[in-house]
A and B are shown apart, each in its own frame.
Chain A
Amino acid sequence: MSARRIFAIVYLLLALGFIFLPVVMLVQYSFQDGLLPVPPFKGVSLRWYEAFLANDRLIHAMGNSTLVAIASSAVATTLGFLAAYGMARRKRRLNLGLQLLLMAPIAVSYLIIAMGLLIVFNWLGISRSLLAVGIGHVVINLPLCFAIVYSQLGEHQANIERAAHDLGASDLKALLLITVPMLWPALLAGFLIAATLSWDEFVIAFLLSKFEVTMPVMIWSMLRSGLNPALNAAGTVVFAISILFVILIELIQARSRRHG
């Protein structure tokens, strides 16, 4: 084996070790048998999973996160899809400007977006709530959903749409029966990525929510009141759920690659 090959393997292993270090710690200490979630490791126990499951506030916050994630991603995917569709099918001078506008939130810190919304909602009299958080999450996820769908919209779908139109399908019918089914891998990927990001988003959720909070905000407030071993268990469960999502996205993309 050449020296370069050995160096490559060693580097790969070191990098993987670095990348997985905090995750391994998290999972390991979620099984910590002891009162404190800090090293040294004292042995294996499931007590913190019980504590996590018994923590109503945390479970409730997870429910809130799920609700916000699904609702905001559905809106972001729908708006992003429509925007991409309109942009791809109608060439106009405004397109470049519209595209800039739609993609702009990517370049602005979540903290600034959240603060802007907080000021505007204050003036409009919209109170801090899960609805406000959801509106913010649509803002940050819309560019992603738009970009994902836009990259998948090509001329071949346009031709089939025209054919459907020629055969008497109305605009809406062609859109729902032809375009949407052809684009479903992109739509679903956009939805799942948006949902994952929304589920885990902190700053917007922190500034725009009040009584009903999402999971990251609840975890944050638990952290501030001292280290809580149940957090490791919660984090591990969240990680496991996220991995399920990742596998789902991978499967969908593999499927669309096969068909595409």
Chain B
Amino acid sequence: MTVLTPHCRLDLTRWATWPAALWTGLFFLLPLLIMLAVSFSARVDNRMLAVFTLDNYAAFFTQGGGVYVAALLNSVEVTAIVTLVSLAVAYPLAYILAYGVPARWQRLLLVVIVLPFWTSYVIRSYSWLLVLSEKGVINQVMMALGLFDQPIGLGNTRGATVLGFVHFFTMLLTLTIYANLVQIKESYRKAAADLGASPLQVFLRITLPLSLPGVAVGAFLTFVLAIGDYITPQILGGSRELLLPQAIMLQISRQANFEMASAMSMVLMLVVSAAFLLFARHLRMERV
């Protein structure tokens, strides 16, 4: 057999990456750049006017008595609550799955845990309305326990939005945290225990720090997906308080005001970028 030389490289490799890059450039990057430009242009007589103006961004902060800023703050608040609560629910679950369940059952149990993930997204949100309705399970349990005197409509509230989100992201976070936990070498924990660490110390000084990358990845995904989601707040939260994606959708579908909607989208992307920097810095700090 002859010595393989670089000439053997397939020529296909030269262009194979480009169709995908072209597609993403044309249908993702270009639209984003155009939206950025649109967000700086004016809307006059229901038509776009290509002039450079900051009016849309100014309107974001002033219009309607700060209704957009309120939507942004609502979004950040709800997303932060959702991320924290989902972490609190998912971490113990992932921990029990990784360390308390026999290895051969782990994969099956994991598949079972994320099974509801595969129900139709719109219908899953709406199913929570069944659970939360006045004669639904939660009200019945609460009444039986004597915690509620009379049934309470729990849908169309911020709590319902948070619940719907937490349900979805508990599944997602369990996946990322579990994947991280099973990669931590057992010898580390054993060594710590041999050296006299209590189970709590082993957890706090070995397991928890080593699992933070999985936590950070999951938390970032949760943040990004939750803050940009329209369906869950629209179905479960009702229209009592708006989140930013709902406000953006109103601008598109009711007003057809793409200038304003673009500016709002840019603000949303800015918040996500800020979150990314926050999580990225946290990750790097953990590695040092």
Query: Residues of A with Cβ closer than 8 Å to B?
Result: 5, 8, 11-12, 15-16, 18-23, 25-26, 29, 37-40, 79-80, 82-83, 85-87, 89-90, 98, 101-102, 104-105, 107-113, 115-120, 123, 135-136, 138-139, 142, 146, 161-162, 165-166, 171-172, 174-175, 196, 200-203, 207, 215-216, 219-220, 223, 231-232, 234-235, 238-239, 242-243, 245-246, 250
Contacts and interface: CB of A to CB of B under 8 A. Distances in A.
Contact of A22 (B19, B21, B167, B268): B167
A108 B32 contact: yes
Interface centre among A120, A215, A243, A246 (most CB of B within 10 A): A120
Given A203-B230, A235-B120, 17 more contacts: A16-B113, A22-B116, A22-B124, A22-B130, A23-B119, A23-B124, A25-B131, A25-B137, A39-B136, A89-B10, A107-B272, A115-B35, A174-B10, A196-B118, A239-B118, A243-B115, A250-B111
A40 B231 contact: no
Given A203-B231, A207-B252, A219 B171 contact: no
B54 to A, nearest CB: 20
Contacts of B2: 166
A171 B32 CA distance: 36
A238 B16 contact: no
Interface of B: 1-2, 4, 8-21, 23-25, 27-32, 34-35, 38, 89, 92-93, 96-97, 100, 111-113, 115-116, 118-124, 126-128, 130-131, 133, 135-137, 140, 167, 170-171, 224, 227-231, 235, 245, 248-249, 252, 258, 261-262, 265, 268-269, 272, 276
B28 to A, nearest CB: 5
B124 to A, nearest CB: 6
A171 B15 CA distance: 12
Nearest to A113: B28
Nearest to B4: A162
Given A11-B93, A135-B27, A223 B16 contact: no
A112 B228 contact: yes
A235 B122 CA distance: 9
A85 B16 contact: yes
A253 to B, nearest CB: 10
B234 to A, nearest CB: 9
B116 A20 contact: yes
A77 to B, nearest CB: 11
Given A11-B92, A86-B13, A166-B1, A117 B31 contact: yes
A120 B30 contact: yes
B96 A26 contact: no
A111 B262 contact: no
Interface centre among A111, A119, A171 (most CB of B within 10 A): A111
A235 B8 contact: no
Contacts of B100: 5, 8, 12
A255 B119 CA distance: 25
A213 B261 CA distance: 23
B268 A109 contact: yes
